[in-house]
Structure 1
Amino acid sequence: MPTASPTPPRLDDLIALARAQAESDEPIALLSAAATLKAEVDELTDALLGHFVDQARRAGCSWSQIGAALGVTKQAAQQKHAPTFDFSRFTERARTAMTEAQAASRRFGHPYLGTEHLLAGLAAGPEAVAGSILIGAGLDQAAVDAAIDAIVGRCDSLGGSAHVPYTPKAALALAATLQEALSMGHDYIGTEHLLLALTRSEESVGRRILDDAALTHEKVRGQVVRFLTALQKGG
């Protein structure tokens, strides 16, 4: 006997969830909870599309076909779902963080690599600048994993892929690392620049975890400057 197909969440369900997550019944608190919930849903739906775009590409579908299925042009589909990055400026520790981010995505069974996985990748390197700052704020790898579990959860049935696509917000954060580095006068991209980029990643899961730990862009940048200054003096 066939099982019933799952149905998308109804508006009533989302309203109830926003009310449950709100800090109070005040209108602004409810609106804030709804905005946070929308951001989470947006990131998940982006990841959903990314998952099936990746599957379509592996099956040999062209970008023209994918664009037509999405109702956009070939170029628009490529720009959103096939971002390219130049990792040549990444330090060894930053590259290790990217490897750890991919491992985090697989660990949670997620068919995408989002800002939360980038943050988990940084937390996995406590000896690096970003990892040291995260630990100082109480965000070691276990704490970040617990936050991801609470916000997103696991999806074991979809995990295990050797390659996972970036979500649009993760792609934007990676693209922003170069600007963060240049703004500090650096010709390399380290873990600290990725962490700074994540603090600017609006309405993302990674940003929410950082906000909950009171790690703003200004605060992280100040800690990065102090950390690197002390490192130079010590050297």
Structure 2
Amino acid sequence: MNIQKFTQKSVEAINDCEKLAYEYGNQEIEQEHLLVALLRQEDGLIPKLIEKMEIQKEHFVDNAERHLAARVKVSGGQVYVGQDLNKVLVHAEDEAKAMGDEYVSVEHLFLCLIKYPNKAMKEIFKEYGITRERFLQALSTVRGNQRVVSDNPEATYDTLEK
């Protein structure tokens, strides 16, 4: 995994995972941390796409945070990236390449959460009917045919929407 190939928002979300682990008292950083980090991003693409899929964002965020709060709590010790989250991070580069993108953006991370879900992600995505096809359809309305060729593509997406 080459972090230089991740967009600013992707790196921000990954860094926020560690903060969330400390906030929730988790030693293992997992997919739920990434989902909540992506959903909490101000002016982030993922919250916009959740709304584009006609999912009530506040309810979705609350549900994701409940799953995060249900994770095992451990005080002290080092935090580490769990196996399921690592799989998402590693395969996100493949997802970006498959879409013709030069950088790993938040949509690639989210697509990998859909493609390689742990038990909690399966439950959340099933409850809200989130599938790869539905997500890609929402993404195409925001992104169009643009490729991710910089580390800040969200600024370009915002311009497209206006």
Cα distance in structure 2, aligned partners of 1:122 and 1:188: 17
User: Where does the alignment leave 5 or more consecutive residues of structure 2 unmatched?
Assistant: 146-156
Q: 1:227 aligns with which of 137, 142, 156?
A: 142
Q: 2:103 aligns with which of 164, 188, 195?
A: 188
**What is the TM-score with the length of structure 2 in the denominator?**
0.77
Give the match for residue 64 of structure 2: 144
Given the superposition, is the C-alpha separation of residues 142 and 234 from structure 1 closer, same or farther in structure 2, using an over 3 Å criterion? closer
Per-residue deviation, residues 171-224 of structure 1 (Å, max 9, x unmatched): 101111112111211111111110000001144323332222211111111211
Q: CA deviation at 1:142?
A: 3.6
Cα distance in structure 1, aligned partners of 2:20 and 2:56: 19
The percentage of counterpart residues that share the same residue type is 17
CA contact (8 A) 2:67 2:120 kept: no
Q: CA deviation at 1:153?
A: 4.2
Per-residue deviation, residues 23-47 of structure 1 (Å, max 9, x unmatched): xxxxxxxxxxxxxxxxxxxxxxxxx
Cα distance in structure 1, aligned partners of 2:10 and 2:117: 22
Q: CA deviation at 1:139?
A: 4.2
**What is the TM-score with the length of structure 1 in the denominator?**
0.55
Number of equivalences? 146
Greater RCO (CA < 8 Å, at least 6 residues apart)? 2
What do you get for the CA RMSD once the two structures are aligned? 2.3
CA contact (8 A) 2:95 2:108 kept: yes
What amino acid does structure 2 have at the position aligned with 1:187? E
Cα distance in structure 2, aligned partners of 1:97 and 1:169: 16
Given the superposition, is the C-alpha separation of residues 193 and 208 from structure 1 closer, same or farther in structure 2, using an over 3 Å criterion? same
Give the match for residue 11 of structure 2: 95
Give the match for residue 121 of structure 1: 37
Give the match for residue 106 of structure 1: 22
